[in-house]
């Protein structure tokens, strides 16, 4: 869902608060990525991507675990998987399998003059429903 320029804007906007980890084979090919934004003492899972090789070899689990550990080392006390989507059972089962606790919230409010930030917020909101 993110375009290349939106990814670069996200990286520029969050700079030191954005943590991205990945899994790469010896040939230099990246098979899985996962990123979180750390704000105060909360790390929010912002994106993840994995190819078939990563899924077959459970690389997504390793990258996720390393991201949680890295965020903790950077001061995060909580890791927010940013909601679940029961329509996408693969992602739902992945997050459920981490042992995370489902927390229901009342809803969201968003306002921004930035078109990119509005898209990002709406993307995050859409993923959390």
57-83 pLDDT, tens digit each: 999 999 999 999 999 999 999 999 887
- State the CB neighbour count (10 A cutoff) for residue 79: 20
15-43 pLDDT, tens digit each: 889 999 999 999 999 999 999 999 999 99
pLDDT of residue 129: 53
Cβ 54 vs Cβ 60: under 8 Å: yes
pLDDT of residue 6: 80
pLDDT of residue 22: 95
| 5's tokens | 């320029």
97-116 pLDDT, tens digit each: 888 888 877 665 666 677 78
């Amino acid at each position: 869902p993110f375009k290349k320029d939106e990814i670069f804007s996200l990286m520029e906007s969050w700079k030191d608060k954005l943590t991205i980890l990945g899994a790469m084979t010896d040939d230099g090919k990246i098979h899985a990525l996962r990123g979180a934004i750390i704000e105060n003492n909360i790390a929010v899972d912002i994106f993840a991507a994995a190819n078939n090789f990563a899924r077959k070899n459970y690389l997504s689990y390793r990258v996720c675990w390393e991201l949680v550990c890295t965020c903790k080392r950077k001061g995060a006390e909580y890791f927010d998987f940013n909601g679940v989507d029961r329509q996408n059972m693969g992602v739902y089962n992945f997050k459920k399998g981490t042992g995370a606790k489902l927390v229901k919230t009342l809803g969201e409010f968003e306002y921004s003059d930035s078109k990119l930030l509005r898209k990002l917020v709406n993307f995050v909101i859409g993923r959390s429903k």
